Structure 1
Amino acid sequence: MPRQPGANVWAPPKPAPKPLWDTGTAPERPAPPGGRVLLGVLLSGLVAATVLSDGVGVNLLLVALAAAVAAGSAAVARGRRARPWTVVWGVSAFALLLVPVLSDAGWPSFLAFVAAVGAASLALHGGTRWAAVLLGPIWLLPHFFTALPWAARGLKGRSLPSSARSRAVPLVKSVVVTGLLLLVFGALFASADAAVGELVDELVPSFDLGELPFRVFLFGVGVAVALAAAHLAAAPRRFDRLPVGPGRERGRTEWALPMVALNLLFGAFVAIQAVVFFGGYEAVMSKPGLVPAEYARQGFWQLLWVTVLALAVVALAQRWAPRQTASDRLLAKGLVGLLCVLTLVVVASAYYRMQRYVDVFGLTRLRVTVTAAELWLGVVFLLVLAAVLAGASVARLLPRAVALSAVAGVAVFGLVRPDALIAEQNVARFERLGTIDLDYLSSLSADAVPALDRLPADRRTCALQYLAESLDGRDTPWYAASLSESRAQQLLRERPVDLKARCSTSRYPMGEELP
């Protein structure tokens, strides 16, 4: 290409324009953080360094509260007000952090922690549309990189005015004197009485110089989390401004033919399921060459995929549906609504199949997890059906309703303590059928101890040996111990388990690893 006359060949190339999704949703540059924000960040770091080194429990709530102080101060300084949905997401985040307080199992606690981070990010972002609900929960992550320069701007050249200094200095002196008095007299009382000393050891976090590098790391983690939350509160990206146009309408025949065919296919499946159910499940399952457990197991996974794909079809059908005339809108509402109803029957069929499989082989972590996921998909279809039938006024609530159902589902899943549910179901099954998989049940968390404690002596010993040994070696402080762990330790102290006994009971497997 020939060079244009007068062009400067040494000039740097012009930067490429930013994409529309970035410029359309970008926030204004926030003002440097104030003293309250920085104090909340420092408090979050100190709490994390003090209580997070021994595990998770109430300490996660304490760190979250400190980070909430920083985020709330930044939001107030920016002039943002708490809206009803802000309160809903915030309360949901703290409710999810109750799961590690009550449950000893790590997997539901991890799910609850991830969901709590997403709910907190939604509370700080705001937004009502699908873009905000889908992107808001993960958009806290970029703020970990942008918050540090923002904090540096707040610290640069910062000095207290004389009036603030006159108030702060006496407060600092008072805090230091109070701390010294409590330290001196508390140490004397603790050494004077063994009961007081034991109580102090349980309540006050211990500190070892060898843990100093790890505690410095935890301090950095607490500071980073609070800074990211505060920066998000001060500069949320407005995903509701993301330009997303309505889908291109399809012709009535082009849109309706696939929907009618799919509804007929779903209807045929539902009709067959009705024949099987009302015609006698046992009679159908007794046919030669048909293994009931295998039929239930395989059918569940196929129906789970049918549910997920049907949800995608409903979303696309709503986007491309004809809506020019009242008859077009009525046709779209009828066909989409019918597909939602038929999919709910598929969800019920999948749930029934899994229950039949669990009756044969028992409940496991994977089986309870996928069952909970299938039930949540059923709730989503109920919400979609309500939005389709009620119209635009309810449809506007659908994104937040679906997100709230996911948050509530994770919270309920964690608070019912799945390991306790698994142990309870398998013990009840043993009392009914006399078969139990002790190897699997012994790998559960302390949540399972109360149910396993009901087993006969020999099987109880085999089921609880590993748990008793692991709990016996724990010296978890109050702020990192779960309620289930404390209860299990108390039960095992009242009815000790012989750790040296050899287990000779037969192993009754719980079926294949999947599901």
Structure 2
Amino acid sequence: MTATLWSALATGLLSMLMLGDGLALNLLLVAIPATFGTYVAARNAGRQLRRWTVVWGVAGFALLAIPLLRDAGWPSFLALVAALGAGSLALHGGRTWTGMLFGPIGLFTSLVTGPAWGWRGLRARTGGARGNAGPVLRAVAVAVVLLVVFGALFAGADAAFAEILSGLVPDASVSDGPWKAVLLVLGVAGALAAAHTAAAPVQWDRVEVPAGRPRGRVEWALPLVVLAALFAAFNGVQLAVLLGGYDSVLEQTGLTYAEYARQGFWQLLMVTVLTLLVIVFALRWAPRDDTRDRTLVRAVLGTLCALALVVVASAVRRMDMYVDAYGLTRLRISVMAVELWFGLVIVLIMAAGVWGARWLPRAVMASAVAGVLAFGFASPDAMIAERNVQLYERTGTFDLDYARELSADAVPALDGLEEPLRSCALKTVAQELEDDDKPWYATSWGEAHARTVLDGKGVSPDADWRVCSRLGMELTYR
């Protein structure tokens, strides 16, 4: 318990000193003592380190590395949410759907019970004859005071020492004291919550969800067979379009190439979502009395899943067509990634129908975590910039206003544009990087790399708002 308390204190102090300036390497530094304290609490409680605990823990740390690599906030936010889910799975050890989905609830409730548990442990170790941490705490407090007092005096006596000290020590100014105090409390409470969850996890796997009442074969299978026939008809049309070419379809419908692509993507995305819901409810009410029933379930749902994969491929193809015509955006790349993940989930469901579904919950959650990791490591803002630069080179059209909204991750791709378009696209992010004075532990690799790129050429002073505004209009409506 003593090691856990010290780890919680270290987590709180690091949170107070580092997290107020942004998220990058500091997030990993804060997570290290919290993880150590959690591990110690779990071992003291008699829990063994299992394989899936390691998998979820490593995945959580990998997700926390996304803010270190990327300047864009939206993939970092997804990574933090996924890291919370992976951490919950590592602490609770869930393996069923209830364990996977309800695990974060236990983590949030520990934000109340964890600090109380830590307070009881602290009192047991600082009071009475059994207390052994009181002298150590007092010694640390005295040491901190001495460091602060004499460090301030030495910094005032020598400018070179003050410069070195300011680069190594996080800013702890009084002006943002309330926010620092909040970060301290949140860091300690979060570390104690994780440790308490690891020591006494809620067994969500033991929550039993009553099975649905099996339906008769006709009542269960007929609607799904009809739906599969509809899927087959739609996929047949898609195959005819693929073989006959899009030109004949466009002539018949009167749509443009991009309009045809845009018209169907969102509907097909919704079809994929509804198909997954239909499969979930169909499995709940599936007949399961004998071998013939189980064969019927596999045949009907397997066919539906196979046809749904064709729908997924059609949706992805339509979005790719639309991107070829109008360029890539954050929304378009996000929904395409989600659609691809839906396709992977369908494949996992098909595999579960062959090899059993015991492993399916973990596989689905692991695929979601892997997808968020791949999305962050791929640097979506950089992909958007690269694709749009390629579109400009091919068609001469370019959405300058949208390019200026991208993060520093897009700088290397935008740097290849010709002047004055290059300077117009990079002017906003260059100004932000110039004004940014975040410390080293809150600076992402994307920001550092962008600074390196911009230091080589800089931004042309001739690219003022008049030039850029006129250029943006010309390239958008060309």
Measured against the shorter chain, the TM-score band is over 0.9
SS of match in other structure, 2:416 = coil
The counterpart of 2:201, out of the listed 209, 213, 236, is 236
SS of match in other structure, 1:335 = helix
Kindly report which structure 2 residues correspond to 1:359-374, keeping only aligned pairs within 5 A, or say none. 359-374=324-339
AA of the residue aligned to 2:30: V
1:10 aligned partner: none
Calculate the TM-score normalised by the size of structure 2: 0.92
Q: What whole-Å deviation, never above 9, does each CA across 1:298-317 have from its counterpart, x for those lacking one? A: 21000001000100111111
Q: What whole-Å deviation, never above 9, does each CA across 1:108-142 have from its counterpart, x for those lacking one? A: 10110011011101110112111111111343112
2:226 aligned partner: 261
- In 1, the alpha carbon distance for the partners of 2:133 and 2:245 equals 84
The counterpart of 1:122, out of the listed 89, 96, 104, is 89
**1:288 shift after superposition:** 5.4
Q: Is the 8 A contact 2:106 2:201 kept in 1?
A: no
Q: Is the 8 A contact 2:125 2:133 kept in 1?
A: no
The counterpart of 1:507, out of the listed 460, 473, 477, is 473
1:288–1:122: structure 2 CA closer, same or farther, 3 Å change rule?
closer
SS of match in other structure, 2:107 = coil
Farther off after superposition, 343-352 or 214-223: 214-223
2:60 aligned partner: 93
**1:324 shift after superposition:** 1.5
Farther off after superposition, 159-168 or 197-206: 159-168
Q: Which has the higher helix share?
A: 2
Q: Is the 8 A contact 2:54 2:90 kept in 1?
A: yes
Q: Give yes or no for the alignment of 1:50 onto 2:12.
A: no
**1:161 shift after superposition:** 8.5
**Root-mean-square deviation (Å):** 2.7
- In 2, the alpha carbon distance for the partners of 1:272 and 1:437 equals 34
2:120 aligned partner: 153
SS of match in other structure, 1:140 = helix
AA of the residue aligned to 1:478: W
Farther off after superposition, 61-70 or 400-409: 61-70
- In 2, the alpha carbon distance for the partners of 1:226 and 1:401 equals 28
- In 2, the alpha carbon distance for the partners of 1:190 and 1:367 equals 57
**1:494 shift after superposition:** 1.6
Structure 1 unmatched ranges of 5 or more: 1-33
**1:155 shift after superposition:** 2.7
1:7 aligned partner: none
AA of the residue aligned to 1:65: I
Identity between Structure 1 and Structure 2 (%): 50
1:330 aligned partner: 295
SS of match in other structure, 1:112 = helix
**1:491 shift after superposition:** 1.4
**1:66 shift after superposition:** 1.8
Q: Is the 8 A contact 1:190 1:200 kept in 2?
A: no
Q: Is the 8 A contact 1:437 1:510 kept in 2?
A: yes
Q: Is the 8 A contact 1:125 1:237 kept in 2?
A: yes
Q: Is the 8 A contact 2:26 2:441 kept in 1?
A: yes
AA of the residue aligned to 1:460: R
Q: Is the 8 A contact 1:260 1:335 kept in 2?
A: yes
The counterpart of 1:422, out of the listed 375, 380, 384, is 384
The counterpart of 2:38, out of the listed 71, 95, 100, is 71
Q: Is the 8 A contact 2:396 2:475 kept in 1?
A: no
- In 2, the alpha carbon distance for the partners of 1:204 and 1:183 equals 14
- In 2, the alpha carbon distance for the partners of 1:267 and 1:318 equals 21
- In 2, the alpha carbon distance for the partners of 1:86 and 1:182 equals 44
Calculate the TM-score normalised by the size of structure 1: 0.86
Structure 2 unmatched ranges of 5 or more: none
Q: What whole-Å deviation, never above 9, does each CA across 1:331-356 have from its counterpart, x for those lacking one? A: 11111111111101100000000000
The counterpart of 1:284, out of the listed 246, 249, 258, is 249
**1:157 shift after superposition:** 4.5
- In 2, the alpha carbon distance for the partners of 1:70 and 1:50 equals 19
- In 2, the alpha carbon distance for the partners of 1:145 and 1:478 equals 34
1:133 aligned partner: 100
2:404 aligned partner: 442
1:197–1:435: structure 2 CA closer, same or farther, 3 Å change rule?
farther
Q: Give yes or no for the alignment of 1:454 onto 2:421.
A: no
**1:286 shift after superposition:** 3.5
Q: Is the 8 A contact 1:252 1:328 kept in 2?
A: yes
AA of the residue aligned to 1:382: V
**1:295 shift after superposition:** 2.1
AA of the residue aligned to 2:189: A
2:213 aligned partner: 248
- In 2, the alpha carbon distance for the partners of 1:313 and 1:58 equals 43
AA of the residue aligned to 1:505: L
Q: Give yes or no for the alignment of 1:308 onto 2:273.
A: yes
1:386–1:173: structure 2 CA closer, same or farther, 3 Å change rule?
closer
1:27 aligned partner: none
**1:187 shift after superposition:** 5.3
AA of the residue aligned to 2:106: W
